[in-house]
Structure 1
Amino acid sequence: MYRLLRPLVFRLDAERAHRATIAALKLLPRRRPPSFDGALTTSIAGLGFPSPVGLAAGFDKDSEVAAAMLGLGFGFVEVGTLTPCPQDGNPKPRLFRLVEDQAVINRLGFNNRGQTAAIERLAFRDRSRGVVGVNIGANKDSADRIADYAAGVRAMGPLADYLAVNISSPNTPGLRDLQAGGELIELLAAVSEARLPGVPVFLKVAPDLAPGDHERIVRAAIDSGIDALIVANTTLSRPPLVARHAAEAGGLSGAPLRSLALDQLRAFRAASGGQMPLIAAGGIASAEDAWARIRAGASLVQLYSALVYHGPGLARRIATGLTDILRRKGIPSISDAVGTER
């Protein structure tokens, strides 16, 4: 069905098409999430995930369609990025399809309606339907970004199954500076002080890192009680691209990010020695992509840009494909495959 609809969707500019998709999903009748093979069940930080295939932050910025996406076959959904105050984000146009490259460039800039508006929706969700994480960020014009993150932890913690601290977007000037040594330690200390007992906190990092950054980030995360790392956000680097919008500024995601994100995952696995759970994102579009990340050390995977090209049934197809791989290889559980790459 999506193959038939895609040409019509692609006649709209990318951001308008996305808003139309969210509107359509809100009209869908509610349905319970599908049943997954028990071999796909995994656990991180005390949370049980029926499938390791999740929806990355950025798709459902304002927590409008989490239940619908769980119903479409995602094992978990991450909403946001949500900031303390509403903000419009960067000037339009700011979202571009690179069709020939199976990629997306965005410079959205944390556009969202703010945490207060999302709280009203999250407060009424049926938590039995699945795991919903909340990705939090800082406002662009904030005088104290660390205080913004602490406020986000306090505001969203009671309603989230987990929190994701996003300091890796390239589209808010200076935000990635929070990954630097002293600022990262200060940030994570503030997050640790603000967090609620029993609510896991994950840290989302950039793929554009220098040698030594992986070990430093892992040590700070472990020392601060961070429960997992999400590797990785969009990249400012530019591998060879052929599509018309290749020169646009912003973060690149989709297929061209695949190799870089996998390399960064391996680097964080090596830096942590398996002590820190990892969640892989970036360039995942098939069961084979997900399998490669799991073998490289990821307990969970997330996708978003691939939905633009492969449609809303992709998560379920990847989950089915992972089940087939496990059976073919005689591996009883997806957790048994984590980090088995040689």
Structure 2
Amino acid sequence: MIFGILRPGLFALDPETAHALTLTALKCSPRTAPPAAGPLAVTVAGLHFPNPLGMAAGFDKDAEVPDALLGLGFGFAEVGSITPLPQAGNPKPRLFRLVEDRAVINRMGFNNRGSHRAQARLERRVGRNAGIVGINIGANKDSPDRTADYAVMTRMMAPLASYLAVNISSPNTPGLRALQDEGALAALLDAVIEARGSSTAPIFLKVAPDLQPADIDAIARIALDRNLGALIVSNTTISRPPLKSPHAGETGGLSGAPLRDLAQQRLRDFRSATGGVIPLVGVGGIASAEDAWARIRAGASLVQLYTAMVYGGPGLPRRITRGLERLMQRDGFSSIAEAIGSE
């Protein structure tokens, strides 16, 4: 109700300003406990999630509000992407609302304040047992050795992370998606696994939706060989389905409702390629309990959203989790684990 009143004012602002105000509001909001485990609880990669709905990376780039996000009802929050050194990202404007399409195009470029600022914040969470927070790590745009960047980030962040998400799929850092090529990916994951050392944080890999069948098979094979904790399917797309918004021609990654069908199909592709052995995190175009349930039935153990919050507001996580409980009961499942891949 309140968001419905505030939304026109927020939408009158440019998207980055509105996002900054949202972060400020969350930082100032009273602390609310993360959700308790209930009928939607699910275990993935040894982690016990109170529900399968998470906030995707990109919302909280500098790990400023993970606990506030958990307090909104998310079962987990993923912060980042964080790079070793601070970087400004791409020139503005770089974030566009496609209101008519309930979508967003961004070409942010891994803008963040760098690893040391985020590390200091995350260290204050250690030992508080305050919910599951994943850390999404990336490489600096001008790094001469991006694999080394991921190794550095792993050493810094693995002791602080519930899980590490290796992001090689942003379309807004030139050449980054080349790390999805089989040889480069194998070398990168070997470096990350070595850098993790004695940490028990599972490694999740975030992939693009714009992959060919051979790419999917290769990534699945490497993920199985390296015993990854999960695959996050998927990031934003550089493809362009029919769009209504005047911003449709902007370059960058498209997210939101137009990505839903492509992301769902990629999830099915990875479910098939991995034989259901590796857990999958479904992302892209999830805006309702029905969307989340369809992704779970297609093979996702967990789901994430971000763009839908732009249009649905802070009450959306609890609306979705309440809806998931109803859908699970309607379809005769006693747990999320039973429903995974049941379509």
Shorter-chain TM range is: over 0.9
Q: Which runs of 5 or more residues in structure 1 are unaligned? A: none
Aligned equivalents of 2:137, 2:98: Cα separation in 1: 27
Name the amino acid aligned to 1:335.
Answer: A
Aligned equivalents of 2:331, 2:90: Cα separation in 1: 47
Aligned equivalents of 2:332, 2:243: Cα separation in 1: 39
What does residue 258 of structure 2 align with?
Answer: 256
What does residue 332 of structure 1 align with?
Answer: 334
- Is 2:66 the counterpart of 1:66? yes
Name the amino acid aligned to 1:58.
Answer: G
Name the amino acid aligned to 1:63.
Answer: A
What does residue 229 of structure 1 align with?
Answer: 231
What does residue 318 of structure 2 align with?
Answer: 316
Shift, 1:225, TM fit:
2.4
Contact 1:106 1:250 (C-alpha < 8 Å) held by counterparts = yes
| Over 3 Å off, 4+ runs | none
Aligned equivalents of 1:131, 1:23: Cα separation in 2: 22
What does residue 93 of structure 1 align with?
Answer: 93
Shift, 1:45, TM fit:
1.0
- Residues 291-311 of structure 1, C-alpha deviations (whole Å, 9 max, x = no match): 000010000000000000000
What does residue 131 of structure 1 align with?
Answer: 132
What does residue 2 of structure 1 align with?
Answer: 3
Aligned equivalents of 2:241, 2:330: Cα separation in 1: 34
Aligned equivalents of 2:123, 2:36: Cα separation in 1: 25
Shift, 1:246, TM fit:
0.6
- Residues 100-139 of structure 1, C-alpha deviations (whole Å, 9 max, x = no match): 0000000000000011100110111264221000000000
Aligned equivalents of 1:41, 1:232: Cα separation in 2: 22
Contact 2:35 2:50 (C-alpha < 8 Å) held by counterparts = no
What does residue 300 of structure 1 align with?
Answer: 302
Contact 1:192 1:225 (C-alpha < 8 Å) held by counterparts = no
- Where do residues 65-214 of structure 1 align in structure 2 (5 Å cutoff)? 65-125=65-125, 127-196=128-197, 197-214=199-216
- Length-normalised TM-score, structure 1: 0.98
Shift, 1:21, TM fit:
0.6
- Secondary structure at the aligned position of 2:39 is classed as helix
Aligned equivalents of 1:106, 1:94: Cα separation in 2: 6
Name the amino acid aligned to 2:292.
Answer: A
Aligned equivalents of 1:50, 1:273: Cα separation in 2: 26
What does residue 40 of structure 2 align with?
Answer: 40
Shift, 1:181, TM fit:
1.3
- Residues 2-27 of structure 1, C-alpha deviations (whole Å, 9 max, x = no match): 11110010010001100111011111
- Secondary structure at the aligned position of 1:40 is classed as coil
Aligned equivalents of 1:276, 1:45: Cα separation in 2: 9
Name the amino acid aligned to 2:129.
Answer: S
- Secondary structure at the aligned position of 2:266 is classed as helix
Shift, 1:35, TM fit:
3.6
Aligned equivalents of 1:33, 1:132: Cα separation in 2: 11
Shift, 1:270, TM fit:
0.3
Aligned equivalents of 1:219, 1:327: Cα separation in 2: 35
Contact 1:104 1:253 (C-alpha < 8 Å) held by counterparts = yes
Q: Which runs of 5 or more residues in structure 2 are unaligned? A: none
Q: Which has the higher mean CA deviation after the structures are superposed, 265-274 or 117-126?
A: 117-126
- Secondary structure at the aligned position of 1:241 is classed as coil
Contact 1:229 1:277 (C-alpha < 8 Å) held by counterparts = yes
Name the amino acid aligned to 1:68.
Answer: A
Name the amino acid aligned to 1:287.
Answer: A
Contact 2:171 2:252 (C-alpha < 8 Å) held by counterparts = yes
Aligned equivalents of 2:191, 2:327: Cα separation in 1: 42
Contact 1:73 1:315 (C-alpha < 8 Å) held by counterparts = yes
- Secondary structure at the aligned position of 1:209 is classed as coil
Percent identity among equivalent residues? 64
Q: Which has the higher mean CA deviation after the structures are superposed, 7-16 or 325-334?
A: 325-334
Shift, 1:149, TM fit:
0.4
- Residues 19-71 of structure 1, C-alpha deviations (whole Å, 9 max, x = no match): 111011111111112345x2200011110000100000000000001010100
Aligned equivalents of 2:112, 2:44: Cα separation in 1: 28
